[in-house]
Amino acid sequence: MKKTFTLDEVDCANCAAKMEVAINKIEGVSSATVSFMTQKLTIEADERDFDKILKAAQKAIRKIEPDCRIVID
Amino acid sequence: MRKKDKKQLIKIIISAVALISVALTEHLDLIPKLIYLNGFDLQSLLLYMIPYLIVGGAVLMRAARGILRGQMFDENFLMSIATIGAFAISEYSEAVFVMLFYSVGELFEHVAVNKSRGSIKALLSIRADTAFIENDDGELVEIPCEQIRIGDVICVKPGGKIALDGEIIEGSSSVNTVALTGESLPRDVKEGDTVLSGCVNMQDFIKIRVTKLFGDSTVSKILQLVESSVENKSKSENFITKFARFYTPAVVGAAVLLAVLPPLIIGADSLAVWQNWVGRAMTFLVISCPCALVISVPLSYFGGIGSASSKGILVKGSSYLDALAKCDTVVFDKTGTLTEGNFTVTNIKTKGIDRAKLLSLASSAEKYSTHPISLAIITAANAEICATGHEATEIKEVSGRGVKALVDEKLLLVGNAELMRENNISLPSDILAERGVTVYVAHGGEYLGAITVSDRPKQKATSALAKLRKLGVKRTVMLTGDRAAEAKLTASELGIDEYHAELLPADKVTAIETLLQKSKNGANVAFVGDGINDAPVLARADVGIAMGALGSDAAIEAADVVLMNDDLDRIGDAILLAKKTRRIVIQNIVFALGVKAGVLALGALGLVGLNVAVFADVGVAVIAILNSMRALK
């Protein structure tokens, strides 16, 4: 299943591209995109793994841009 | 401008003033040199540190935090190393200038990106997030649309946006679909009519029973589609992302080699030679961020998609925008795409009787029929306001032939040639070989005339096709289930290059496949249809374009490009926009890579310094961003 999240404070386009690469490497993610323009993260993965993947994604994002976080609503 | 950006601007101004003052005092020796360290002019260094730290402190901090997280190639880090390096080789003013210019560029980038995000948002601000409902006391209360369920009744004031799809249960008004279709076209609506979210209520207060949840409403679907379009990245975008991953490490690697190898090879023994090569390496570090490309390319595409959607053209991703730009064959479905999709009277021939009378006679016999041809005749008769209303009795349908009736106690025949022949009516020979279906009328054994009913080509079809040709479409093809003679007529009338007639739905897929095989040199085949009956063909073509898709989820689902109204001109508009966007993307890539390569080469030769390098970095990024903002228009 596919879910979209808003990213708060993505400041650099290159970082967005790096985040995309990093999140795609997380186990269980079948595809992920980070859009610098819309400030959106889309992850396609198995429903059961989502919580785990989201945590890993947040960690990966922090590593690239410490002030950036995934908004979960 | 955001608060953060304003703060940064103030820092930049203070730092710039400080830099100028320091440079002046140093140059004119205004302050006596007091601080020395083993003969080294520490005072100069300290003075230049003031403007440097004001503007670059944050960059240094971020770089330090980046190192702790293992992010070696982040731009803060590279900029810090380059400027510290410049300090190390005693180029103080240059180091400060680079940091200053870099910060100006960064600020400009942020402002520009935010601005274009804002304009894209404005383009897409067609959704109302709240709606009014009536509470128990009869007062209107504004509530968020997410809370509204199917079956609830919302009230829309004049001038208000309709927030959710529904059916009018009270009141009548006129609604405008401009936000959805890009074309201002007021439509009268009354009780029982379906209205779509995103339309603006133009006249009177109306009450609507909601038929779809907010998330499923037309306007939300459209917004979702535009937003998720960023997922279908074009080849150019993927290329840039991949390129960026290798570019930075490669340039940094080259910088290290440039600092170390040449001095070793020439066996440098003086500090000056080493300083020279380290200086050249610093220019590399400054240019090593691929920002200009990484921002401007997606920005151009997103601008293009945003601008298209404001014209009622939804593109499901930049890859389709690219595909559109490269179309050289456009295939059309005939009925409903090139033609109006309904029958109208297109020609009337009479013999010794006037038009109105003929229509009146014919419609009197057809009045109980629901066949599309009969309906066309009745509509035409009503339009001509036939004064001589004929009263037909004993109306009988003759299956596959037409209708028989009695008018003024004489036999009236309305039907095809077969019906006439069976009743020994002789027909003139000059009325055959025409498009559509011809209905003959005979009264009292005498032939009175013929009415031709056909599906007319859209008024704009010819001009729209001419426009496509101007945009570089080499071949236009029409697919239809109609008879060959009919197809030929339409094709030649519209100036279509090729037609395939008498096709069953499955044959259309085969026809598209043949065309796909024939297309050469990476040129694309687009298919234009209504998106309802031809979903497999839409899916098979390089670009599937669904027309008149407003309110049809199936069409929106099936197509790559969705035209909200059924205006053929929009196809040309879409291709034009796609070409423009692509041109901007290519300009940006060539310009950014060209300048960077040039400055890298000159930097390696020691011909340009850090000031030029920092322009090649942020200056180019800003120019590329400004260029890509053109795609928004």
B101, B144: one domain: no
Distance, CA of B631 to CA of B476 (rounded, Å): 27
Contact list in B for residue A4 (CB cut-off 8 A) is 227-228
Count of domains for chain B: 3
Residue bearing tokens 């590279």 = B78
Task: Please tell me which residue, B551 or B319, carries the higher pLDDT value.
Answer: B319
Contact list in A for residue B294 (CB cut-off 8 A) is 13-14, 16-17, 36
For residue B235, what pLDDT is reported? 87
Burial class (CB in 10 A: 0-12, 13-18, 19+), B264: exposed
Establish if B5 touches chain A: CB-CB under 8 angstroms.
no
CA–CA distances in Å: residue B589 to residues B106, B287, B598, B622: 19, 15, 14, 13
Q: What is the mean pLDDT of chain B?
A: 85
Is A31 inside any structural domain? Answer: yes
B333 is catalytic: yes
Burial class (CB in 10 A: 0-12, 13-18, 19+), B554: middle
In 10 A of CB B343, how many CB atoms? 21
For residue B432, what pLDDT is reported? 55
B152, B222: one domain: yes
Mean pLDDT, residues B165-173: 90
Q: Assign residue B419 the CATH number of its domain.
A: 3.40.1110.10
ipTM, two decimals, is: 0.82
For residue B52, what pLDDT is reported? 93
Per-residue pLDDT band for B189 (boundaries 50, 70, 90) equals: confident
B119, B158: one domain: no
Mean pLDDT, residues B46-56: 91
Point out the domain boundary residue: B205, B227, B249.
B227
Q: Assign residue B143 the CATH number of its domain.
A: 2.70.150.10
B10, B105: one domain: yes
Domain that includes residue A32, residue range: 2-68
Q: What is the pLDDT of residues B447-502, one digit of tens each?
A: 888 888 888 888 888 899 999 999 989 999 999 887 788 888 888 888 899 999 88
Is residue B398 within a helix (H) or strand (E), and if so which, with residue range?
strand B392-398
Is A8 inside any structural domain? Answer: yes
Is A73 inside any structural domain? Answer: no
Establish if A21 touches chain B: CB-CB under 8 angstroms.
yes
Lowest mean pLDDT among A11-15, B142-146, B295-299, B442-446: A11-15
In 10 A of CB B273, how many CB atoms? 14
Contact list in A for residue B74 (CB cut-off 8 A) is 15, 64
Per-residue pLDDT band for B330 (boundaries 50, 70, 90) equals: very high
Domain that includes residue B168, residue range: 130-227
Q: Assign residue A11 the CATH number of its domain.
A: 3.30.70.100
For residue B574, what pLDDT is reported? 94
Q: Which of B110, B289, B302 sits opposite A37 (nearest CB)?
A: B302
Residue bearing tokens 């240094």 = B60
Is B25 inside any structural domain? Answer: yes
Contact list in A for residue B70 (CB cut-off 8 A) is 63
3-state secondary structure of B137: coil
Mean pLDDT, residues B515-541: 84
Is B586 inside any structural domain? Answer: no
Mean pLDDT, residues B227-254: 85
Is A52 inside any structural domain? Answer: yes
Distance, CA of B287 to CA of B82 (rounded, Å): 10
| Cβ-proximal residues to B204 (8 Å cutoff; 6+ apart), any chain | B158, B171, B172, B173
As a dihedral over the C-alpha atoms of residue B63, residue B64, residue B67, residue B72, rounded to 10 degrees, the angle is: 20
- Three-state SS string over B359-387 comes to HHHHHHHHCCCCCHHHHHHHHHHHHCCCC
Task: Please tell me which residue, B258 or B402, carries the higher pLDDT value.
Answer: B258
For residue B416, what pLDDT is reported? 81
Is B187 inside any structural domain? Answer: yes
B146, B166: one domain: yes
B352, B440: one domain: yes
Per-residue pLDDT band for B599 (boundaries 50, 70, 90) equals: very high
B173, B141: one domain: yes
B114, B3: one domain: yes
For residue B177, what pLDDT is reported? 81
Pairing mode of beta strands B475-479, B206-210: unpaired
Distance, CA of B248 to CA of B245 (rounded, Å): 7
pLDDT (tens, 9 = 90+) of chain A, 73 residues, equals 888 888 887 877 888 888 888 999 998 899 898 888 888 888 998 888 888 998 999 988 888 888 888 887 6
3-state secondary structure of B348: strand
Q: Which of B113, B230, B289 sits opposite A14 (nearest CB)?
A: B289
Q: Check B228 against A42: CB less than 8 A apart.
A: yes
Q: What is the pLDDT of residues B73-126, one digit of tens each?
A: 778 888 898 899 888 888 888 899 989 988 998 888 888 888 877 877 776 677
Per-residue pLDDT band for B596 (boundaries 50, 70, 90) equals: very high
B596 near B620, Cβ under 8 Å?
yes
Q: Check A64 against B71: CB less than 8 A apart.
A: yes
B111, B17: one domain: yes
Interface test with B, best of A6, A8, A14 (most B CBs within 10 A): A14
B17, B92: one domain: yes
Nearest to B498 by CA among B559, B506, B514: B514
| Cβ-proximal residues to A40 (8 Å cutoff; 6+ apart), any chain | A4, A5, A6, A7, A34, B227, B230
For residue A6, what pLDDT is reported? 87
Task: Please tell me which residue, B497 or B533, carries the higher pLDDT value.
Answer: B497
Point out the domain boundary residue: B438, B456, B474.
B456
Is B631 inside any structural domain? Answer: no
Distance, CA of B453 to CA of B439 (rounded, Å): 8
Is B624 inside any structural domain? Answer: no
Q: What is the pLDDT of residues B264-280, one digit of tens each?
A: 888 777 888 888 888 88
Residue bearing tokens 């953060």 = B4
Mean pLDDT, residues B336-365: 81
Question: Does residue B399 surpass a pLDDT of 80?
Answer: no
Distance, CA of B167 to CA of B392 (rounded, Å): 39
Is B565 inside any structural domain? Answer: no
B378 near B439, Cβ under 8 Å?
no
B427, B368: one domain: yes
Is A42 inside any structural domain? Answer: yes
Number of cross-chain residue pairs from A and B with Cβ atoms under 8 Å apart: 63
Count of domains for chain A: 1
Task: Please tell me which residue, B430 or A48, carries the higher pLDDT value.
Answer: A48
Q: What is the pLDDT of residues B544-569, one digit of tens each?
A: 999 877 767 777 778 899 888 888 89
Per-residue pLDDT band for B430 (boundaries 50, 70, 90) equals: low
Question: Does residue B137 surpass a pLDDT of 90?
Answer: no
Mean pLDDT, residues B387-402: 75
Q: Check B241 against A20: CB less than 8 A apart.
A: yes
Residue bearing tokens 């890009």 = B182
Question: Does residue B429 surpass a pLDDT of 80?
Answer: no
Point out the domain boundary residue: B79, B98, B123.
B123
B116, B140: one domain: no
* Strongest mean pLDDT among B230-244, B318-332, B355-369: B318-332
Across-strand partners of B398? B402
